[in-house]
Structures are given as structure tokens and as C-alpha cells.
Amino acid sequence: MGALPSIGLVVALVLIATGVRILLGFFGATLPFATFFPCVMISALIGGWLPGLLSIALSILVGWYVFISPQFAFAPLYPVMAADFGVFAISSVAVVSLAILHRGLVFTYEDMRTERDLMARETLHRSRNQLAVVISLIRKTVRDSGDAEKTVERIKIAKLTEDLLEQNGPLIGDLHDLIDKVVRNAHPEQVQISGPQVSLSTRLARALGLALHEMTTNAVKYGSLSNGSGAVRIEWTQGEHCIDIRWIETGGPAVYPPQALGFGSTLIDRMLTSVGGKHEVVFAESGCRHRIQLMS
């Protein structure tokens, strides 16, 4: 705050304190400086040392001139009254010191938060650049283009999950948002989701995001999302210690149990098991059904 605004602030606060003290005088108040302590504190908090000390000086002058008999004259002070003035001055300096300390801590905290946010944005920017490099290397190195694209898609889903967590905070993700981004976003007409609001830890969100991506991929290749008439319904409930998610496919081609589990199915089980979850799958003729149970 500049010099003139600081002086204006101090004068305004002292005038307000004086007016309040005059009003209190009609109710029998006798302490001359009772209303000036808040004025000193606010001046120091907003303006710093100089406004704080200036408010002390103005408060003493106004209190002496207006509230000490004879009023409206700088009459000599009796020893007791001079002691009161000294106590006010010392107490006010202590108030200013504490206000300056608090002010410095607030500014330090703001600077640290700004620096932290800047570092977080820089880290996010670098991770996105590294992701682009990794994807480029995969496409150039892996000979089978199909395998390369599968790997790239898995990496993108992992990054999408990280972005979702970044939007909702470093520790918490929302189940509805995760399913909407990973599954429903690409198939809005065929995917229905319903369930209460459920918060997920970072570990659960990462694991579940990859598992849902694999389930979506299987549905697109072999299940109800492989044609325009099929549908996927995803429902979930939350108990005291468990999140129960059900994936139900209908309207797709007939589904039969595979002779051997592929890498995608194995990945689903591994990701969910790594966070203490359970996964069951039923290859019904009407459509594939998954049940995922996670400890909340």
C-alpha cells in the first residue's frame, strides 16, 4: 500500500474510533483509549509498521485533545494519566508487533502457495511432454501396429485418470466422473450409468480406470458396444466398507466363455487385486456381466 493510501486509512480508522468513543461516553465510559486498540491493529495488519505506529501517535493526540479534561486542549498530564498514556503506547506497540508478525506469515504462506502451484503446473507440463515422447517411441519401436496402439491407449487412459484426479484434488476422485470419462465419453448413446456419489482414493481411481478401459475395449471388440443396438448399464452401490460395481451388457452378439484368458482380462484382475478388490465375470449368452468389489 502506498504512502497516501496508508495515511488516509489511518486517519479514517482513528476518526471512526473517536466517534465510537464519543458515543460510548454518553453511556458512562471513561477509558480514553478503549476504542483505539482495534484501530492500531487494523492499521498494522493492512499497512505495516509505519501505519501502525502512525495510528498510535494519532490515537494518543486525539485521546489527549478530546477526552482528557479540560477537553479540546493539550493540558498538562497528571502522573496517573501520563502512566495510562504510557501503558497504551507500550501495549499498542506490542499489538503492532504481533500484527506485523501475522502479516509476514500470511505473505510467506501466499508466496509458498504460489510457488507450489507454479511447480505443479511445470511438472504437469513436463509429464505431458514426456507422454508424447513415450507414445512416439512406442509407435516407432513396436513392430505390430495393433499392439502398439493398444499400449498407447492404456497409457492414455492412465493419463486421463491422472488428469481427472488433478481436477478433483490430489487425493480424491469421483466414481461417476471416472466412469463417464473412461467409458461413457466415447459411447454416450449406448452407456447408462447410475449410482450415488462415491469418492475414490488415488490408488483406487488409477486401478479402476485401467480396468474399466479394458472392459470397454472388450465390449467394443466382442460385446454389446460392437454394434449400434447394444448397450452397457453400469450401476454401483456403496456399503459401509465396500463399493459394489456391476457392469451389464445387453443387445450385443452372443457371448461365450473364452478358451483362455487374454492379456486384457488378466490386466483387469491384476489391477483390481493390487488394491484389494475382487472381480467376477459371467459370460452369459445375453451379454457379458462384470462385478467389481472395492474396499472403501
Output the domain CATH number for residue 162. Answer: 3.30.565.10
147 shares a domain with 105: no
Specify the pTM. Answer: 0.49
String of DSSP letters for 175-208: HHHHHHHHTGGG-TTTEEEE----EEEHHHHHHH
Q: Is residue 131 one of the residues assigned to a domain?
A: no
Q: Is residue 127 one of the residues assigned to a domain?
A: no
Residues of the chain with pLDDT under 70: 1-4, 28-30, 118-173
Q: Is residue 29 one of the residues assigned to a domain?
A: yes
Q: Evaluate whether 14 touches 62 at the Cβ level (below 8 Å).
A: yes
105 shares a domain with 173: no
252 shares a domain with 162: yes
Q: Is residue 130 one of the residues assigned to a domain?
A: no
Q: Is residue 122 one of the residues assigned to a domain?
A: no
Q: Is residue 135 one of the residues assigned to a domain?
A: no
The percent of the chain in helix, strand and coil, each rounded to the nearest 5, is 65, 15, 25
165 shares a domain with 278: yes
Q: What pLDDT digit, counting tens, does each position of 70-99 carry?
A: 888 887 888 888 888 889 999 999 999 999
Give residue 173's pLDDT.
67
* Of residues 101, 103, 16, the one with CA closest to residue 55: 16
Q: Give me 70's grid cell.
A: 479540560
Give residue 242's pLDDT.
92
Q: Give me 240's grid cell.
A: 459401509
Q: Is residue 160 one of the residues assigned to a domain?
A: yes
Residue 223's domain spans which residues? 142-295
* Of residues 77, 82, 65, the one with CA closest to residue 22: 65
Structural domain count, the chain: 2
